[in-house]
């Protein structure tokens, strides 16, 4: 069994709560990128990820912070302010680590990306984009049964293994496939949930089984640290809404 986490975004309180929730005996914790950006604890989050030896892919925020040639005009003003603040905070060792991660990890039967199969910066935000990426997945990675992706901060399984009715996120039997699975965000959920989320996955013979884990954490502490750091207040406010 392994775990998949994504979009930590410098939220140490959420990351610590998630890591405390990961059951003993988990072989590996994969991280789909955006370790930093938005939250007040970029170095601490980066060091925690490194201390676990997680396989990490780099997200757009990891690169925007650590690649100084990135044009911040592509980011909205709040994100750009957070990227600039994080650039000032992040130490050289952590910056080097995040800058040199791969953008895709392909292991037998499983693919890990930040944005989408065909573009690390694309948002898989609706059924049409999901279907297009499933087609690319089948053409380019015929062995892959599950592709884990992040970037949207929205928990997603496509196509829905429960049929058309929106079912609960208990253990999902992903027989057949391929499937696209977004574990949701550790540090800045945008689907209306205020708790951190991640997934546990198990490779069964018939196809992988995936279970969502929902983890409460000290939202107020994370908010206080964002405000005290002088980051845009909206970045603290939104954690209370999950938007």
Binding residues for Zn ion, per CB under 5 A? Answer: 7, 34
**Residue closer to Zn ion (CB basis): 61 or 213:** 61
Q: Quote the least distance from Cβ 33 to Zn ion, whole Å.
A: 7
User: Which of 132, 206, 214, 218 shows the shortest CA–CA distance to 173?
Assistant: 206
Structure token pair of residue 241: 């809404």
User: Which of 11, 8, 16, 10 shows the shortest CA–CA distance to 33?
Assistant: 8
Check residue 56 and report its DSSP letter: B
Q: Quote the least distance from Cβ 187 to Zn ion, whole Å.
A: 8
**Residue closer to Zn ion (CB basis): 55 or 109:** 55
Structure token pair of residue 200: 């546990």
* Measured distance CA(219)–CA(164) in Å, rounded: 33
Per DSSP, which regions of 160-195 are E strands? 171-173, 179-182
**Residue closer to Zn ion (CB basis): 7 or 13:** 7
Contact 48, 19 (CB under 8 A): yes
Check residue 107 and report its DSSP letter: E
**Residue closer to Zn ion (CB basis): 123 or 214:** 123
Q: Quote the least distance from Cβ 189 to Zn ion, whole Å.
A: 11
Angle (CA) 109-190-232 rounded to 5° is 125
Residue nearest to Zn ion (CB): 34
**Residue closer to Zn ion (CB basis): 9 or 145:** 9
Q: Quote the least distance from Cβ 123 to Zn ion, whole Å.
A: 10
Q: Quote the least distance from Cβ 42 to Zn ion, whole Å.
A: 13
């Amino acid at each position: 069994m392994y775990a998949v986490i994504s979009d930590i975004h410098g939220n140490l309180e959420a990351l610590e709560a998630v890591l405390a929730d990961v059951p003993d005996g988990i072989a590996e914790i994969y991280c789909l990128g955006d370790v930093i950006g938005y939250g007040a604890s970029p170095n601490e989050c980066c060091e925690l990820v490194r201390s676990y030896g997680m396989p990490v892919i780099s997200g757009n925020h990891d690169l925007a912070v650590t690649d100084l040639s990135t044009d911040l005009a592509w980011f909205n003003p709040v994100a750009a302010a957070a990227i600039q603040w994080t650039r000032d905070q992040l130490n050289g060792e952590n910056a080097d680590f995040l800058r040199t991660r791969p953008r895709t990890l392909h292991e037998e039967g499983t693919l890990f990306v930040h944005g989408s199969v065909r573009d690390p910066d694309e948002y898989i935000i609706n059924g049409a984009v999901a279907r297009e990426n499933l087609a690319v997945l089948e053409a380019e990675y015929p062995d892959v049964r599950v592709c884990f992706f992040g970037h949207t901060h929205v928990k997603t399984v496509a196509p829905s293994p429960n049929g058309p009715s929106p079912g609960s996120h208990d253990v999902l039997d992903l027989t057949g496939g391929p499937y696209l699975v977004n574990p949701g965000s550790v540090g800045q959920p945008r689907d209306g949930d205020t708790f951190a989320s991640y997934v546990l996955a198990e490779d069964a013979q018939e196809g992988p089984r995936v279970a969502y884990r929902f983890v409460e954490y000290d939202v107020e502490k994370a908010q206080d640290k964002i405000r005290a750091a002088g980051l845009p207040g909206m970045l603290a406010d939104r954690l209370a809404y999950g938007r």
